[in-house]
Amino acid sequence: MYTKARVAFLVLVLVAVVLLSFLTPARWSPYTAGAVIGMLCWLTFLISDKELGVSATYVRISGFIARLLHKQAVDDNEYYQDTGVKLDWQMMLLLGVFLGALVSAVGSESFHMHWVPGLWQDVFGDAVVPRLLIAFVGGVFVALGARWAGGCTSGQGITGTLQMSVAGWLAAICFFIGGIITATIIYGSGGTLQ
């Protein structure tokens, strides 16, 4: 299994390096992105015999941080024992998502730093602290929901629907309903900002 994984990883790295110039448009076609995500899911099953997802990574990162403060408490915690506080492929996937987005943004010359996105600024103003606070609280709710549901949008929505899982389809439907309701409440309806 490890030999197959190493060969597949090296092939993917070579393909990524060769195709890097093709992977830098500012916006991808949703069909291309969907096909790439589908291939990534298939390769994840082939290489690791596990589904694509990263929500457990946040638990593992919190375990690493908590170990710095109180190692014994983490070692005795049943949740951390069940999830495992370890450096694994999902943690590398999360790092790869960040680095891949950075490379793509820099390569497409669309990279820029800003604390408050334009749409948020148009509706709520340009104050940084409220935006960061809302983003942090939203992130906590997303992480809590992902762990509660046993998977994130990748694990439940993409991989679950790919496997025709009822739970995956139900999760994906709820993601869209929740997103539409939240966007309507925050930004208004009818395509105009309130």
In a domain, residue 137? The reply is yes
- The candidate with the shortest Cα–Cα distance to 159, out of 191, 187, 149, is 149
* pLDDT in the model for residue 157: 80
Contact present, 55 and 145 (Cβ < 8 Å): no
Q: What is the pLDDT of residues 98-113, one digit of tens each?
A: 887 887 788 778 788 8
Backbone angles phi, psi at 110, to 5 degrees: -110, 5
CA distance 49 to 41: 10
User: In the chain, how many domains are there?
Assistant: 1
Structure tokens at 104: 């793509």
* pLDDT in the model for residue 194: 43
Q: Where are the alpha helices (DSSP H) in 20-54?
A: 30-48
Q: What is the pLDDT of residues 52-78, one digit of tens each?
A: 777 788 888 888 888 888 888 888 888
Q: Find the domain containing 154 and state its range.
A: 114-194
Q: What is the pLDDT of residues 4-29, one digit of tens each?
A: 666 666 676 666 655 655 666 667 77
In a domain, residue 7? The reply is no
Q: Is the pLDDT of residue 79 over 70?
A: yes
In a domain, residue 148? The reply is yes
In a domain, residue 184? The reply is yes
Mean pLDDT over 126-154 rounds to: 85
DSSP-derived letter for residue 23 is G
